[in-house]
Amino acid sequence: MSSQDILESVSTLASYNVLLQVMFRVLTFLLNAFTLRFVSKELIGVVNVRLTLLYSTLVFLSREAFRRACLSGQSGKNHSWRTVINLLWMTVPLGVLWAVLLSCVWLWLLEVPDAHTVPYYSPAVVLFALSGVQELLAEPLWVLAQAHMFVRLKVVAESLAMIAKCSITVVLVVFSREWGLYIFSAAHLVYTGILVLCYAVYFIHFLGSKEAARNSFPLRRVKDLLPRRQYGEPLVDRNLARLTWSFFKQSFLKQILTEGERYVMTFLNVLSFGDQGVYDIVNNLGSMVARFIFLPIEESFYIFFAKVLERGRDVKSQKQEEVAIVAEVLECLLKLVLVIGLIITVFGYAYSHLALDIYGGSLLSSGSGPSLLQCYSCYVLLLAVNGVTECFVFAVMSQEEVDKYNFIMLALSVSFLFLSYVLTGWAGSVGFILANCLNMGLRILHSLLYIHRYFQLSRWKPLRGLLPSPPILLALGVSGVVTAVSEAFFCCDSGFLLRLIHIGVGAICLLGVLVAVLLTETKLVQFVSTQLLPRFRKKRT
């Protein structure tokens, strides 16, 4: 498959992932708004912070390193798929080990919520850990699907699982509210179970079919999906295993940086369960755009960079026509996420209070909620740039460079935990956002320096994507001033009509910014229209 074909497939994957994440965020958005009116904020805090942290930690530490390694520069040509499958199945026993260890910590070392306010905490811990192990059963199938660009499989599987999860949650919250944490535990078990079932059914049907033979799929029978030793080959590829170990050491540190504020809240008790619930709701609302746009782009284009460029080789040693494509894609991606991040930052300042008041009423719009969401709007800009820069850096780093970066991640992790604890004592929940901003800025600086050095000896300068045109900056500056004035006069304790005026002012300003983008960033517009817009056409896989 040529680099252009890979780009087209990855672009399609990114488009589907964006649509998938939009649906997820909308469903979660509506589900949180619904459950806020039926359950206590303490119960929401325990589910969305304490139990979700258990699940995400277990799953991330069990599979992230394997995903990174097994999708790096291999599509069946550099490594035997037999040894790859064997390596991927190691995620399941590793997940069981993490489930036991983390469940013991969550049950016996952490503060247990009040049983009257948050009932059935202990069974919920066990069930959330079990759901994580259950999801790992689909890991070899997930990697196969990603490596061979089965773009619709992920969309269908996760859509069905998410719809089932939301439906069960709504029904049980309305009719069996006394079940407490059992409601969310059951819904999460159904979610992971449907994911595994969808992947299993798809590959059982696909393997041995004419389509698989036509596309020279490396596996022929269902039993090839199970771990076994092939005659004349090692059980696992040693080089791939060493790379996995390098990423595994890094995954600890990345998890701390990704979920750092939840670890601080969980282990240091800096906020009550109720405050944790409010913070998590505001955090999810603030990160909605980041998750359904930036994360799918990062995941999909990591595959593109890893497949087109050879890991550990400098720019002069790569095929120059492929380097040219990569540089152009990286420049456009940086420009795209920067523009989106700037728009969110500017308009988030003036519309945070109104958004929280509409979403959750005075429970969210009073107190620190608006200032928290305003700070998060600035943090989204850093998230956007960091996602793209790190996805490129991690795709081209050699194993030795990955090992060295682990030390940088260690320093960032320690500094983040320290800053979170200190800044939370000074600024409350806003301190978490400030600590995240400082650490994210340092990560971006490291990635920018690496990218600059990587392309230094070539004629391509992809970092120019971080320089928006002056008309866009002018439009954003004017919009920031106008919407801030509009908020002062028309929002947010005013009547319904004045709120509509405030929304209308924002819509006009946003339209002006988009017009400036269309007129001045023609290269970016062409990239989005040809590569990122959904392509509902027949798959090439």
Instruction: Please tell me the predicted confidence (pLDDT) of residue 75.
Output: 40
Residue 450 lies in a domain: no
Q: Give 455's contacts (C-beta < 8 A, 6+ positions apart).
A: 315, 327, 461, 462, 463
Cα–Cα–Cα angle for 413, 416, 417, nearest 5°?
A: 90
Instruction: Please tell me the predicted confidence (pLDDT) of residue 185.
Output: 94
How high does pLDDT run on average in the chain? 82
Mean pLDDT highest for which of 4-18, 74-88, 151-165? 151-165
Task: Assess contact for 451 and 393: CB atoms under 8 A.
Answer: yes
Q: Give 26's contacts (C-beta < 8 A, 6+ positions apart).
A: none
- Mean of pLDDT values over 281-304: 75
- Mean of pLDDT values over 394-414: 81
Task: Assess contact for 486 and 350: CB atoms under 8 A.
Answer: yes
Task: Assess contact for 39 and 330: CB atoms under 8 A.
Answer: no
Minimum mean pLDDT range among 5-14, 73-82, 116-125, 321-330 = 73-82
Instruction: Please tell me the predicted confidence (pLDDT) of residue 237.
Output: 78
Q: How far apart, in whole angstroms, are the C-alpha atoms of residue 341 and residue 289? A: 9
Q: Is the pLDDT of residue 77 over 60?
A: no
pLDDT band at 538 (very low <50, low <70, confident <90, very high): very low
- Mean of pLDDT values over 372-385: 88
Minimum mean pLDDT range among 221-225, 248-252, 472-476 = 248-252
Task: Assess contact for 288 and 340: CB atoms under 8 A.
Answer: no
Instruction: Please tell me the predicted confidence (pLDDT) of residue 301.
Output: 81
Q: How far apart, in whole angstroms, are the C-alpha atoms of residue 118 and residue 298? A: 37
Helices (H), 220-272: 238-258, 260-268
More confident residue, 89 or 310: 89
Q: How far apart, in whole angstroms, are the C-alpha atoms of residue 501 and residue 212? A: 57
Token pair in block for residue 397: 């780093």
More confident residue, 232 or 139: 139
Q: Give 42's contacts (C-beta < 8 A, 6+ positions apart).
A: 113, 114, 117, 118, 272, 273, 274, 277
pLDDT band at 401 (very low <50, low <70, confident <90, very high): confident
Residue 84 lies in a domain: yes
Percentage of the residues of the chain whose pLDDT score is greater than 90: 22
Q: Is the pLDDT of residue 295 over 70?
A: yes
Q: Is the pLDDT of residue 540 over 60?
A: no
pLDDT band at 371 (very low <50, low <70, confident <90, very high): confident
Instruction: Please tell me the predicted confidence (pLDDT) of residue 342.
Output: 92
Q: How far apart, in whole angstroms, are the C-alpha atoms of residue 413 and residue 440? A: 11
Q: How far apart, in whole angstroms, are the C-alpha atoms of residue 236 and residue 244? A: 11
Q: How far apart, in whole angstroms, are the C-alpha atoms of residue 436 and residue 384? A: 13
H or E stretch at 306: helix 295-308
Task: Assess contact for 152 and 539: CB atoms under 8 A.
Answer: yes
- Mean of pLDDT values over 260-282: 79
pLDDT band at 14 (very low <50, low <70, confident <90, very high): low
Question: Domain of 130?
Answer: 39-250
Q: Is the pLDDT of residue 402 over 60?
A: yes
Percentage of the residues of the chain whose pLDDT score is greater than 70: 87
- Mean of pLDDT values over 125-130: 96
Residue 116 lies in a domain: yes
H or E stretch at 443: helix 430-454
Instruction: Please tell me the predicted confidence (pLDDT) of residue 17.
Output: 63
538 φ, ψ (degrees, to nearest 5):
-65, 135
SS3 per-residue string spanning 335-370: HHHHHHHHHHHHHHHHHHHHHHHHHHCHHHHCCCHH
Q: pLDDT tens digits for 428-466? A: 778 888 888 998 899 899 899 988 888 887 788 888 888
Token pair in block for residue 355: 């958004």
Q: How far apart, in whole angstroms, are the C-alpha atoms of residue 327 and residue 305? A: 10
Residue 385 lies in a domain: no
Q: How far apart, in whole angstroms, are the C-alpha atoms of residue 391 and residue 47? A: 30
Token pair in block for residue 540: 């090439």
Instruction: Please tell me the predicted confidence (pLDDT) of residue 539.
Output: 38
Residue 85 lies in a domain: yes
Q: Is the pLDDT of residue 213 over 80?
A: no
Total structural domains within the chain: 1
Mean pLDDT highest for which of 31-35, 56-60, 263-267, 355-359? 56-60
Q: Is the pLDDT of residue 74 over 60?
A: no
* Angle, helices 320-360/470-490, rounded to nearest 10 degrees: 10
Q: Is the pLDDT of residue 491 over 50?
A: yes
318: left (phi over 0), alpha (psi -120 to 50) or beta: beta
pLDDT band at 280 (very low <50, low <70, confident <90, very high): confident
Instruction: Please tell me the predicted confidence (pLDDT) of residue 242.
Output: 84
Q: pLDDT tens digits for 428-438? A: 778 888 888 99
Residue 386 lies in a domain: no
Instruction: Please tell me the predicted confidence (pLDDT) of residue 189.
Output: 95
DSSP-derived letter for residue 467 is: -
pLDDT band at 220 (very low <50, low <70, confident <90, very high): confident
pLDDT band at 107 (very low <50, low <70, confident <90, very high): very high
* Angle, helices 295-308/3-35, rounded to nearest 10 degrees: 160
